Amino acid sequence: METIYDVAVIGAGPGGYIAAIRAAQLGLKTVCIDDFTDAAGKASLGGTCLNVGCIPSKALLESSENYEKAIHKFHEHGISATNVSIDVSKMLARKDGIVKQFTNGIDLLFKKNNVTQIHGRAQIVSKGDVVSIKVGGASEVIVNAKNVIIATGSQPRHMKSVPVDNEYICDNKGALSIPNTPKHLLVIGAGVIGLEMGSVWRRLGAQVTILEALPHFLTAVDEAVAKEAKKIFTKNVGLDIRLGCAVQSVTRKGKEITVTYKEDDNLKTLECDRIVVAVGRVPNSSGVGLENVGVKVDERGFIVVDNHNVSSVKNIYAIGDVVRGPMLAHKSSEEGVAVAETIAGQYGDVNLETIPWVIYTSPEIAWVGQTEQDLKADGVPYKVGKFPFVASGRAQAIGDSAGFVKMIAHATTDRILGVHIIGPYASELISEAVVAMEFGATAEDIARIVHAHPSLSEAMHEAALGIDNRYLSL
């Protein structure tokens, strides 16, 4: 007899695979369809995040940071490290090993949780109480399901004037596999990927130039953090960040690339041997068959969903990068859990106001909630507490004391509206702020909580005290 699944998930990235596992855990008969293939042409679960995104980039960031520390930091501790060298192919192999471990891990999790998996490209062909999906692959199959979760993610935005070959001119995929340190790497786009990948190759010895089209740096980030970051990335890290620069054309002769760009109406050129294009990502909403069933997309290609991720067709849901909101793995996963629970008759919800952001540069940048410039623009009265890591004993002991914690609270209710960190382990510190905001905490609540000494979290405590100008260590 023909199988009718309770849930068919299209896409096995952090949105799709988590949705499938949660749905199966809740007793729903679940299938997950994914078309990703690795460099060897084999099916590989985990989507962008595990294969060519979060995990491999963090592996390279860690390797390159260790290399840089060995050269520039160890001597401060009295450790002499001479003839330090980096074997780039070993570094890449380590990264590939970590990716494999995690992508294989999803395969095991699917088996453990009774999720059926199908490799191939899915296209929705008809709707109704049962939705039909055609899956192209080695042999074409039709999958029928009472509910569909579209989790097709996103892909890099390419520029017509900069044709990506993923050898010399790379998007995020090629950028994670450059086989040796470039002499001069040009990054187009000073966003999250540009700064993370630029940092990796800068630490390994490349000259790195970043051309950013906008006249301002990191526009989504709190202005004080963006200003500090620009200063540190330029002076300490050595990234050559040029704002207001629009690339016009690229020509390659063998290994030499000439780039022409416009800055203040002047045409300029630069020579480089690799390019990373990191100018944002576009949702994967075409080729999914949305037009066959009337699932609406907006003018930028995002699938239109309500607060519970329901599309314009009642039993078709969409989550993750293919819908509104930040393009972040944890946001995709939480939407996956919420939708699976909604389908199972429970209550699923994701608070998009408290999604943490992290940029894994050195120093790290992390934030949650509103920026000072957002609040000014909205006319919301606020107070600020700001504590520099230079006054933190733990940061000094670690030898990483650049940056600060900035807390913003409502001027009259004292409720925390945003927390912005640039500094050591910002990625870990931000969790306290997320929990506080999710529970509607005030700055005084954080100020009254005991924080371990010496720990970096004391900087959060001091920033909260600073809201009422009650700093104890400043």
Compare residues 19 and 463 and give the one whose CB is closer to ligand FAD: 19
Closest CA to 7 of 24, 34, 30, 25: 30
Q: Which amino acid is at 332?
A: S
- Residue 226, interface with ligand NAD (CB under 6 A)? no
Per-residue x/- marks for ligand FAD, 152-191, CB under 6 A? xxx-----------------x-------------------
- Residue 191, interface with ligand NAD (CB under 6 A)? yes
- Residue 387, interface with ligand FAD (CB under 6 A)? no
Contact 317, 11 (CB under 8 A): no
Cβ burial of 4 (10 Å; 0-12, 13-18, 19+) is: middle
- Residue 284, interface with ligand FAD (CB under 6 A)? yes
Cα–Cα distance between 415 and 255 in angstroms, integer?
A: 56
- Can you tell me which of 5, 7, 11, 432 binds ligand FAD, judged by CB under 6 A? 11
Contact 177, 274 (CB under 8 A): no
Interface of this chain with ligand FAD, residues 331 to 350, rule: CB under 6 A: 332
Cα–Cα distance between 416 and 439 in angstroms, integer?
A: 10
- Residue 441, interface with ligand NAD (CB under 6 A)? no
- Residue 280, interface with ligand NAD (CB under 6 A)? yes
Cα–Cα distance between 227 and 224 in angstroms, integer?
A: 5
Detail the DSSP E strand segments found in 256-306: 256-263, 266-272, 274-277, 281-283
111 secondary structure, DSSP code: H
Contact 342, 348 (CB under 8 A): yes
CB of 169 to ligand NAD, least distance (A): 14
- Residue 228, interface with ligand FAD (CB under 6 A)? no
- Residue 218, interface with ligand FAD (CB under 6 A)? no
- Residue 201, interface with ligand NAD (CB under 6 A)? no
- Can you tell me which of 97, 215, 326, 399 binds ligand NAD, judged by CB under 6 A? 326
Q: Which two tokens stand for residue 447?
A: 């100020």
Cα–Cα distance between 8 and 22 in angstroms, integer?
A: 12
CB of 331 to ligand FAD, least distance (A): 7
- Can you tell me which of 13, 385, 388, 423 binds ligand FAD, judged by CB under 6 A? 13
Using the structure block, give the residue that is written with the tokens 């099916």: 43
Residue 283 touches which of ligand FAD, ligand NAD, none (CB < 5 to 8 A by kind)? Answer: none
Residue 63 touches which of ligand FAD, ligand NAD, none (CB < 5 to 8 A by kind)? Answer: none
The stretch among 65-73, 103-111, 205-213, 304-312 that binds ligand NAD (CB under 6 A) is 205-213
- Residue 200, interface with ligand NAD (CB under 6 A)? no
- Residue 467, interface with ligand NAD (CB under 6 A)? no
Specify the 3-state DSSP secondary structure of 118. Answer: strand
Q: Which two tokens stand for residue 177?
A: 């596999």
Residues paired with 410 in a beta bridge: 382
Question: Alpha helices of 233-343 — where are they, by DSSP H?
Answer: 290-293, 329-343
Residue 213 touches which of ligand FAD, ligand NAD, none (CB < 5 to 8 A by kind)? Answer: ligand NAD
Is 216 an annotated catalytic residue?
Answer: no
Residue 279 touches which of ligand NAD, ligand FAD, none (CB < 5 to 8 A by kind)? Answer: ligand NAD
Contact 392, 373 (CB under 8 A): no
Per-residue x/- marks for ligand NAD, 347-386, CB under 6 A? -----------xxx--------------------------
Residue 34 touches which of ligand FAD, ligand NAD, none (CB < 5 to 8 A by kind)? Answer: ligand FAD
The stretch among 73-81, 183-191, 230-238, 384-392 that binds ligand NAD (CB under 6 A) is 183-191
Contact 389, 463 (CB under 8 A): no
196 secondary structure, DSSP code: H
- Can you tell me which of 259, 327, 408, 443 binds ligand FAD, judged by CB under 6 A? 327
Cα–Cα distance between 147 and 168 in angstroms, integer?
A: 43
- Residue 121, interface with ligand FAD (CB under 6 A)? yes
Which residue is at the shortest CB distance from ligand FAD? 153
* Dihedral over Cα of 76, 78, 79, 81: its sign: positive
Q: CB-based contacts of 107: which residues, under 8 Å, 6+ apart?
A: 45, 117
Cα–Cα distance between 415 and 224 in angstroms, integer?
A: 21
Cβ burial of 391 (10 Å; 0-12, 13-18, 19+) is: middle
- Residue 279, interface with ligand NAD (CB under 6 A)? yes
The stretch among 65-73, 247-255, 262-270, 329-337 that binds ligand FAD (CB under 6 A) is 329-337
Compare residues 213 and 344 and give the one whose CB is closer to ligand NAD: 213
CB of 8 to ligand FAD, least distance (A): 11
Compare residues 130 and 159 and give the one whose CB is closer to ligand NAD: 159
Using the structure block, give the residue that is written with the tokens 């050591």: 424
Please give the positions annotated as active site. Answer: 453
Q: Which residues bind ligand NAD (CB under 6 A)?
A: 159, 188-194, 196, 211-214, 246-247, 278-281, 326-328, 358-360
